[in-house]
Amino acid sequence: MKIIRSSLLLAGILLSFGSMAETDPKTLKPDIRRDHKVYIVQLADKPLVAYEGHIPGLAATKPNANAKLNPQSSQYRHYADFLRARRDTVLASVPGARKVHEYQVAFNGFAALMSSKDAEALRARKDVLGVWEDKLLKPQTDSTRDFLGLTGFFGPWLWGVTGEDIVIGVIDSGVHPEHPSLADTPTPRRGNRGRAVPYGPVPDHFVGEGCDFGNSEFNPADAPFECNRKLIKAESYSDAFLTVNTLADYEFLSARDAGGHGTHTATTAGGNYGVEGPTGGILSGMAPRARIAVYKVCWDAPNPDDSGCFSSDSMAAIDQAVADGVDVINFSVGGSSTTFNGPDDIAFLYAADAGVFVSVSAGNRGPDSETVGTPSGVPWVTAVAAMEDDQSFGTGLRLDAPADIAATYEGLEGGGPVSLADVGAISANVVTTEPQDACGPLTNSDAIDGQIALVIRGGCAFTDKYNNAAAAGARAIVVYNDGTGPDRMDPIVMSAPDTTIPGIMIRHSDGALIAASSDSAGTLSPEIQVSRVDRIAGFSSRGANGGAPDIIKPDVAAPGVGIIAGTSPVSSGGNLFAAMNGTSMASPHVAGVMALLKQVHPDWTPAMAKSALMTTARSGLRKSFGSEAADPFDIGSGAISPSDAFTPGLVYDASLPDYFAFLCGAEKQPQLVDGTTCSELEDLGYSTDSSDLNLASIGVAELAGSQTITRRVTSVAPGRQWYWVSVDAPEGVNVHVQPRVLRLKRGESATYRVTFTATDAASLGEWTFGSLTWHSLGNRYQVRSPIALRPVPITAPESVIGNGSEGSLSFDVQFGYSGNYQVQISGLAEGIAYPGAVEDGDNDLIFFEIPEGTELSRIALFDADVGAGDGSDDLDLQVYGPAPDFPLVGSSGTPTSAETVTLRNPEPGQYAAFVVDYASAAGPTPYTLFNFNLKGDAGNALLSAPTAADVGRRSSVSLDWMGLAPGGRALGLLRHGDGEQTFAETEVMINTQ
């Protein structure tokens, strides 16, 4: 062991490591810790929307069902004063902090600019539930009203359901206030029918004020504007953004929109009917009579990579929107993280509990799986995927000969500088290049000259293919996908800046068919268009849900391709309208429909409204490419059908305790449970199994043999209705529902149970999909829930803990297969302890050896072995090796000192552990670093387990150990399998201290 504490000597050693010294500085925290950053702090007291009066002398402020907060009440003022005093006390404990925002309505706490050490000091306080570093999120960027059925004879508009007196809060990049879609002008109460009626006064339940325009000192083009009875409020929140960024020279330091994203989402959700669009058509929002309140949180910086929306600014907007009394929030903003544990998730939870419907964009990182990002992964918001409606078209290659393959083949135009619109129609022979991938000069250039070149994808860059085809005289290039994705098409950049011919991509199956034919003749033209109606957009993020795989995400789909709506003239060359793509465009469609639901059903909770949209959605969509049906990870329940959502028959409701119980089962941070313990919730009958959360979808991420889930439905249909159940069972799974018949009158609820049992036909480890539908007599109501299941061979705990130099422990496993069962052990390996201490501003470097034949090496710090042992210190860990190059092989940086780096089958040799003092108490902070090296069965533990697995059976595994040295720790790894393959692993940690 060698510990070096001199900063100067440490720097020299780092330089000598070569590649170690070249490590990305973003991975090292010594320099980062000296910077001040914005942190969001959650305090222990409940926010105003959730406080139920448990403090003597302070009356409850939580509004009754279907009521709004009353900021003018004495209860509100007194409790707000109490919260303010508590916040000031906490802030005063870190004198170096500068307050950026304070929150009290949907979240209790503040955001402040402070050092990492100050943040750690706050984490240690008992009156602080959580501290998060602020995050930069990004905006996720005509005639859809007809496509969604709003305007027809059975549509809601005809019956006056147009969002009258409902307030939609748009948290985005601001708004162009002079836009005609937001003008205070008379419009028909029945949407597109009847006489125009002026807007009435601002609804009584909305108490917000402020109209933040006219900051001409910052930007002379920022003209004053008075809000009106359509655009009833506009505020901006920039404090966090401006602590780390400057604004682009065209940006406005006000609620005025520069980029156009916010104007687009606002006018899509609630823009006036009757506004003439850019091509002469009539435009409208989904809820044309709704009022709009704008909260600008997204900003453009000089560097586009720095543009975005900080969570702390967004939370200030959420807090204010709930206090103002909005009915619906649209949040077309998100991040790339697929987990949820942030403060904005908590704020939206309390907003939902206060009765605010929240629609969020699912994200634009598709078509890859598990790309649904925060905050759309949480179950209390409605996450919206983007689909293509009847106005969406792709380019087509029309083949005229030979007759046996003559057809129009769907394609997507490449992103080069020359388009089909530039050159017009091209009619020519379609000739396969030689070589087929066009990765070298074409040997059949004479045949290619003047024709359309057909090229297979792969082997080289698209630009190489393009340039080789162009050099041979091709008039256009058609690239067909390779066999790895036979039905996929990608809009691709296939050319250099000076190229002169266009190109498109088609499917592998289509391209192979054409390539196998001779004397093909075809036409490429901008006028050849193939409808892409009812396809999920290629960019739309997909499930499974990385944060909670039992919760199906997205929830629903809505139009999000080529959506024409309002924009800012600043970003569009003076135009007031733009066609945009993105789940950002899909989300406001749902927000607008939620406004319509709120008008008709003011007593519905957000969970009930979400349920109605889900159970009535259309499921017959297709994947982005090919003819395969879309699954729930593409579209959730399906495409929204607003006219049906008003009368769903049955709804699935969920309350705050339901969500808290879900968080317990998902093992999220305890501060989300807001003082209510998980055991208390279980004692009250709430299930902490996330599969049991009362949603209108059903997901089980680990189905080992058999599992039973429960759901509760509530009737919202008139009179008394009979319902019977039908199931489209997922492949390889038997489904049993009990009871199979329900009889309910309006307001009554019933619980049913669904048992899923995997069969021998199940594909273990693969997701399989189906649905469950409750039908009323005559099928007037069809209440459909999507199902997503993943059968697995076994479920076993990821980790177990034991104590003492000798002892025993046991745990249960459940089998999803029948056959041989074996448990193999590596270890128990006693850890080698490396004690040390870090001074403020210094970091320790420890060298250790990993021996030959090591299966797994673990390098770890434990909170109990750092400083006071209470987790208040934050040491991080980086591991480099082996010598002599010492590349970075692993790092760990949690909010405490519980850090772990695991290396499987590592190269033997000398390694270095860099213990980083991210934020620790003043003075030397002692620690003990452990290194565990597993090499087969160490002979100090005995296993007792069954030798055979039976589908659905639950069995016990026992471990007895002896002879461990006191005062240390030992690590083991149990591998569960059938003797030929490993299905699961359980880590064993024994503490002998």
Torsion angle (degrees, nearest 10) of CA 825, 826, 832, 837? -80
Complete edge-to-edge strand list for the sheet that includes strand 109-115: 98-103, 109-115, 36-43, 128-133
**Annotated catalytic, 172?**
yes
Burial class (CB in 10 A: 0-12, 13-18, 19+), 833: middle
> What does the H/E/C string look like for 525-556?
EEEEEEECCCEECCCCCCCCCCCCCCCCCCCE
Say how many C-beta atoms besides its own lie within 10 A of residue 122's C-beta.
23
- How far is C-alpha 813 from the chain's CA centre? 31
Which residue type sits at 224? P
**Annotated catalytic, 540?**
no
Contact at 8 Å (CB) between 686 and 657?
yes
Catalytic residue among 101, 176, 179, 261: 261
Which residue type sits at 136? L
Task: Take residue 940 and report the two structure tokens written for it.
Answer: 């100090």
- How far is C-alpha 485 from the chain's CA centre? 25
Q: What are the residue ranges of helices labelled H in 822-865?
A: none
Beta pairing, strands 407-413 & 382-388: unpaired
Q: What phi-psi label fits residue 5: left (phi over 0), alpha (psi between -120 and 50 degrees) or beta?
A: alpha
Cα distances (Å, whole numbers) of residue 220 to 3, 213, 573: 60, 11, 18
- CA-CA distance, 807 to 818, in Å (whole number)? 31
Give per-residue burial for 623-634: e unless 16+ CB within 10 Å, then b.
Answer: bbbbeeebbbbb
Q: How many CA atoms lie within 13 A of 259 on its CB side?
A: 25
Beta pairing, strands 382-388 & 357-361: parallel
Q: What are the residue ranges of helices labelled H in 458-605?
A: 462-471, 508-515, 583-600
Show the CA angle centred on residue 671, arms to residues 364 and 325, nearest 5°: 65
* Closest to 564 in 3D by CA, of 141, 330, 268: 268
E strand or H helix at 344: helix 343-353
- CA-CA distance, 680 to 686, in Å (whole number)? 9
Sequence-separated (6 or more) residues with CB below 8 Å from residue 197: 186, 187, 188, 189
Would you give the DSSP letter of residue 271? P
- CA-CA distance, 255 to 174, in Å (whole number)? 5
- CA-CA distance, 675 to 51, in Å (whole number)? 12
Beta pairing, strands 982-991 & 954-961: unpaired
- Matching residue, tokens 């026992």: 958
Say how many C-beta atoms besides its own lie within 10 A of residue 710's C-beta.
14
Contact at 8 Å (CB) between 433 and 442?
yes
**Annotated catalytic, 261?**
yes
Catalytic residue among 584, 643, 872, 920: 584
Contact at 8 Å (CB) between 750 and 652?
no
Torsion angle (degrees, nearest 10) of CA 151, 152, 153, 157? -20
- How far is C-alpha 716 from the chain's CA centre? 31
Burial class (CB in 10 A: 0-12, 13-18, 19+), 40: buried
Catalytic residue among 134, 142, 165, 172: 172
**Cα-trace Rg, the chain:** 31
User: How many residues belong to the chain?
Assistant: 993
- Matching residue, tokens 């306080």: 125
Which residue type sits at 74? S
Give the catalytic positions in this structure. 172, 261, 584
